[in-house]
Copies of this chain bind each other. A is one copy, B any other.
Amino acid sequence: MRNQFYNYITSLQDTIVQGLEAVDGRAKFVEDIWKRPEGGGGRTRVIENGAVFEKGGVNISGVHGILPQSMQDYFKVSNPDFFACGLSLVLHPKNPMVPTVHANWRYFELYDEKGEIVSQWFGGGQDLTPYYLFDEDAVHFHQVCKTACDAHHPDFYAMYKKKCDDYFWNTHRSEARGLGGLFFDYCKPTSEFSLEQWYNFVSHIGDSFLEAYVPIVEKRKDVSYTKVQRDWQEIRRGRYVEFNLIHDKGTLFGLKTNGRIESILMSLPPHVQWHYNHSPAENSEEEKLLKILAQPIAWV
C-alpha cells in the first residue's frame, strides 16, 4: 500500500497541477525536490503571482524514520518507526470572490520491532474558505464531496462533513475557518471495510478535487472587486494563518518531524492584514459570511 498510494499521489499531483495551470492561464508551478535528512523527502510545486492564483502549492511527500517522543506517547507505540506520505495543497486566489481551498490525502504506517506493520490508516479531506459567500458555490463543493462519498458508504458524507466542521474550528475566535467539506482520519482496515476499500474511497475523493473546485474558480475569477473587498480578504487570511499556526495538526506534525519548512508553510497566504478589533458593517456581505462561520450549516 505504501507504494500504491505514493504512486497514486505522484500521478494526482501531475493531474491537479495541470488542471490549475490551465485555469490560471499565466503562471506555471515551480518544482523543488527535497530530501529529509532523517529519511524520505518530497516534491514541492508552488505557483506565485498567477493571473488567478496569487500563491499556492501542491506538494507530495513521503517521510519515514523515528517518531518524535511526543508523538510516540500520543500513538502509544512500543516501536517508534513510522512511514507517512501524502499530498497537501492550498491555493490562495488573488480575487477575493474566489475562495481559498485546502486539501490533503495521506497514508500512515507504524511498525513493530521486526518491521511488520502494526497499524496503517488513511486520512485527509478538503475544505473551502471563501471571503464572500455565494451559496451556490458552497452547495457545488459539498455536492461533489457527497457524491464521491456516497459511492463508498451512505454514512461517510454526513460523518466526515461533521468532522470537518469540528476540526477547522478556530477555538480562540469561536468561528469556523471556512465552509468545511470533508475531514477523515484513522481510516483503518476492518472486517467490514478493507484497506483496499479505503484506498478506493480516498483516491476517489482525490480524483474529484478539480471537479469540486475549478468550476467555482471559473465562475468567480473575473468578477470585479474593490480595495475594501481585497482588504477584507487579507484580514480573513489572517484567520487562516491563526488556524494553521495555532491549531493545525498537519502543520505541527511537519514542524515536529523536521519537515521542510518552506513546503509546510507554503500554506500561508501571500498578503495578510491584522487590524485591531475589526468588525464588518451591519447587514454587509462581510457580516453575512461571519454569521455562517459562527455556526456551520448543512449545504446539501
Contacts and interface: CB of A to CB of B under 8 A. Distances in A.
Contact of A276 (B55, B238, B276): B55
Interface string A218-250: 000000000000000010001001100110000
A173 interface: yes
A216 interface: no
A277 B261 CA distance: 9
Contacts of A173: 261
Interface stretch (A3-11, A117-125, A262-270, A284-292): A262-270
Nearest to A251: B246
A272 interface: yes
Given A245-B241, A245-B245, A32 B277 contact: yes
Contacts of A272: 241, 271-274
A271 B172 CA distance: 21
A57 interface: yes
A76 interface: no
Given A238-B268, A268-B238, A271-B271, A262 B277 contact: yes
Given A241-B245, A245-B246, A255-B172, A271 B273 contact: yes
Interface residues of A, number: 28
Q: Give the one of A242, A262, A268, A272 with max B CB within 10 A.
A: A272
Q: Give the one of A57, A265, A274 with max B CB within 10 A.
A: A274
Contacts of A268: 238, 274
A274 B261 CA distance: 12
B261 A46 contact: no
Contacts of A262: 276-277
A276 to B, nearest CB: 5
15 contacts: A55-B274, A55-B275, A57-B276, A172-B255, A172-B261, A173-B261, A238-B268, A241-B241, A245-B245, A246-B246, A265-B274, A268-B274, A271-B271, A271-B272, A272-B272
Given A46-B276, A270-B273, 15 more contacts: A46-B277, A55-B275, A234-B271, A238-B268, A241-B241, A241-B245, A242-B245, A242-B265, A245-B245, A246-B255, A265-B274, A266-B276, A270-B275, A271-B271, A272-B273
Interface of A: 32, 46, 48, 55, 57, 172-173, 234, 238, 241-242, 245-246, 255, 261-262, 265-266, 268-277
